[in-house]
């Protein structure tokens, strides 16, 4: 009886050993492909991130996004290769994966659109963190840019979240886009006041302020005869960071100088002329 069992075991071992060996080799091969492939995916992802970080003007978030994209593509290829080692036909798997990707893409059109817009913003950089901008009718300082949205803080520190599709599709005003800005101020004086005297007062204050550029030359001229005042326009070039302080200081200094020199800033008024019939 023991001899029959030994013969049966030996027969079974001899019969199935090639299949077991082949299966074991396939498992080992698939595991090797999987382990090595995943390491390559991580290495390529790291390389992409480092190369993107070396490029000037490329946002860190964009480098992380492309690095993750490379990782997922390589991982998918590794999984398909592992299945092929097992003898599984990858054609049907790829077809299912493609259909699944299409279904996910259709259901996430808005999110994918925001991602695409976020990539465009980070590549072309119409604005960056810290810029004062007007986007989608919202005005504020850019606090964060990610793949889905742009976050602003208004002047009174209200948080505004703008989807990237709306940000990239509309008109973008970047008030911090250039290092220099023009400061425009209009002063109105009474019709009875001396225009040349008023012009000289304003020019004197402008010449004393070191923040005002001499090139382009300051523009101070009478530009309009309004309903209640003679309007003098003052256009000054300065550093963008000094624009508002310069404007507020100029308004205060000119008003004080007008008061001292007897130049009046009239309130809006109307003159009624009544004709008396003879």
pLDDT digits (tens, 9 = 90+) for 211-266: 999 999 999 999 999 888 999 999 999 999 999 999 999 999 999 999 999 999 88
Residue 39 corresponds to which tokens in the numbers above?
A: 């390491």
C-alpha 196/C-alpha 177 separation (Å) is 37
Residue 210 corresponds to which tokens in the numbers above?
A: 């070191």
Of 77-91, 116-130, 194-208, 215-229, give the lowest mean pLDDT range. Answer: 77-91
**DSSP letter assigned to residue 276:** P
C-alpha 118/C-alpha 162 separation (Å) is 11
Class (C level, CATH) for 2-107: mainly alpha
Looking at domain 180-261, which of 3.30.70.20, 3.30.70.100, 3.20.20.150, 2.130.10.10 is its CATH number?
A: 3.30.70.100
115 within 8 A of 123, measured Cβ to Cβ: no
How does pLDDT run across 189-214, given as a tens digit for each residue? Answer: 999 999 999 999 999 999 999 999 99
Looking at domain 127-174, which of 3.20.20.70, 2.30.30.60, 3.90.930.60, 1.10.3720.10 is its CATH number?
A: 2.30.30.60
Q: Say what the pLDDT of residue 247 is.
A: 96
Task: Give the chain's mean pLDDT.
Answer: 80
14 within 8 A of 41, measured Cβ to Cβ: no
Closest CA to 186 of 234, 238, 249, 254: 234
Whether the link from the prior residue into 216 is cis, omega within 30° of 0, is yes
C-alpha 260/C-alpha 205 separation (Å) is 13
Residue 79 corresponds to which tokens in the numbers above?
A: 């999984």
Of 43-57, 89-103, 179-193, give the lowest mean pLDDT range. Answer: 89-103
Between 252 and 129, the higher pLDDT residue: 252
Check whether 79 has a pLDDT greater than 70: yes
Closest CA to 147 of 117, 105, 109, 168: 117
C-alpha 205/C-alpha 207 separation (Å) is 6
Q: What is the DSSP string of 70-109?
A: HHHHHHHHHHHHHHHHTT--HHHHHHHHHHHHHHHHHHTH
Check whether 2 has a pLDDT greater than 60: no
| pTM score, whole prediction | 0.60
**Confidence band for 101, pLDDT divided at 50, 70 and 90:** low
- Domain range annotation of the chain: 2-107, 127-174, 180-261
189 within 8 A of 195, measured Cβ to Cβ: yes
Query: CA separation (Å) from 84 to 24, 72, 95, 110, 250?
Result: 15, 18, 15, 35, 76
How does pLDDT run across 10-35, given as a tens digit for each residue? Answer: 665 565 556 665 666 666 777 777 78
Check whether 60 has a pLDDT greater than 90: no
How does pLDDT run across 143-184, given as a tens digit for each residue? Answer: 988 778 899 999 999 999 999 888 888 889 999 989 999 999
Check whether 57 has a pLDDT greater than 70: no
Domain 127-174 identical in fold to domain 180-261:
no
Q: Say what the pLDDT of residue 4 is.
A: 45
């Amino acid at each position: 009886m023991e001899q029959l069992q030994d013969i049966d075991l030996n027969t079974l071992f001899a019969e199935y050993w090639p299949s077991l060996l082949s299966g074991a080799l396939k498992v080992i091969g698939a595991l090797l492909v999987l382990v090595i492939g995943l390491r390559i995916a991580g290495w390529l992802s790291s390389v992409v991130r480092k190369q993107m970080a070396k490029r000037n003007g490329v946002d860190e978030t964009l480098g992380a996004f492309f690095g993750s994209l490379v990782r997922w593509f390589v991982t998918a290829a590794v999984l398909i290769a592992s299945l092929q080692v097992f003898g599984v036909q990858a054609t049907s798997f790829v077809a299912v994966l493609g259909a699944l990707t299409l279904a996910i893409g259709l259901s996430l059109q808005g999110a994918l659109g925001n991602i695409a817009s976020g990539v465009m913003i980070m590549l072309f950089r119409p604005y960056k963190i810290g810029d004062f901008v007007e986007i989608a009718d919202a005005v504020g300082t850019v606090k964060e840019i990610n793949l889905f949205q742009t976050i602003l803080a208004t002047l009174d520190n209200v948080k505004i979240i703008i989807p990237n599709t709306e940000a990239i599709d509309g008109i973008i005003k970047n008030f911090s886009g250039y290092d220099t800005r023009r400061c425009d101020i209009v002063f109105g004086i009474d019709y009875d006041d001396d225009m040349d005297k008023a012009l000289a007062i304003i020019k004197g204050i402008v010449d004393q302020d070191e923040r005002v550029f001499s090139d382009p030359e300051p523009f101070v001229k009478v530009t309009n005869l309004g309903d209640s005042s003679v309007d003098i326009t003052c256009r000054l070039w300065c550093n963008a960071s000094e624009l508002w302080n310069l404007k507020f200081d100029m308004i205060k200094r000119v008003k004080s100088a007008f008061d001292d020199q007897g130049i009046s800033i009239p309130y809006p008024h109307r003159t009624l002329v009544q004709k008396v019939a003879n």
